[in-house]
Amino acid sequence: MGAAQTGNSAAYTRLLSEVDLWLQAYFRRRLPADLVNDATQDTLLAIHEKRHTYDPQKAFGPWLAAIARYKWIDRLRAMGRDLTEPLSDYVAAPDQEEAHLSALTLEDLMRDVKPAQAAAIGMVKLEGYSVEETANRTGQSASLVKINIHRGLARLMARVRDRSDDT
């Protein structure tokens, strides 16, 4: 998003396509299937309209998640206005606190590894890309991706051990 704010249209196009995939998954878990595409498009439009509010010094994920959450709430409100049957007294909603704390902890840990290592770990271990896909997307060789994952995970493990020794 930082590159897109400076006028890099290729970066902006890539950002929107990756965000689109994330939003589709986000809304699929929270909304009826027939509302997913509309919610995704509304959110992409909001991101486009509010892109000037993003601070490149801060993490992009929480900024994106906040916009998606507001659009999700808007959809829930609209669904409430259109309901033709009463809701039950019990509405199941997963607790997001643990996931949020885990994401913040992971983000903090990932700051301690080199950017190339963080990218490789994030794409392969967290996002599910193959080593080859990651190599193509990052410009690293497949061997270097594997090395960066190995070294990055070793560094993360050491950091976690250090944290547990401190407590």
Report d(CA 23, CA 40) in Å as an integer.
6
The chain-wide mean pLDDT, for the chain, equals 86
Q: Domains of the chain: which residue ranges?
A: 1-83, 96-167
- How does pLDDT run across 150-162, given as a tens digit for each residue? 999 999 888 888 8
> What would the mean pLDDT of 106-117 be, rounded to a whole number?
86
**Any idea which architecture 1-83 has in CATH?**
Orthogonal Bundle (1.10)
Pick the CATH number of 96-167 from 3.20.20.70, 1.10.10.10, 3.40.1390.30, 3.40.1280.10: 1.10.10.10
Would you say the pTM of this structure is higher than 0.85? no
- How does pLDDT run across 20-65, given as a tens digit for each residue? 999 999 999 998 899 999 999 999 999 999 998 989 999 999 999 9
Q: Rounded to whole angstroms, what are the CA distances from 120 to 84, 109, 133, 146? A: 48, 14, 10, 8
pLDDT at position 126 over 90: no
Q: Please list, in sequence order, all residues whose beta carbon lies within 8 angstroms of the beta carbon of residue 36, skipping any fewer than 6 positions away.
A: 24, 27, 28
pLDDT at position 141 over 80: yes
Would you state the pLDDT for residue 91?
61
Q: Using an 8 Å Cβ cutoff, are 134 and 100 in contact? A: no
- How does pLDDT run across 59-95, given as a tens digit for each residue? 999 999 999 999 999 888 887 766 555 656 666 666 6
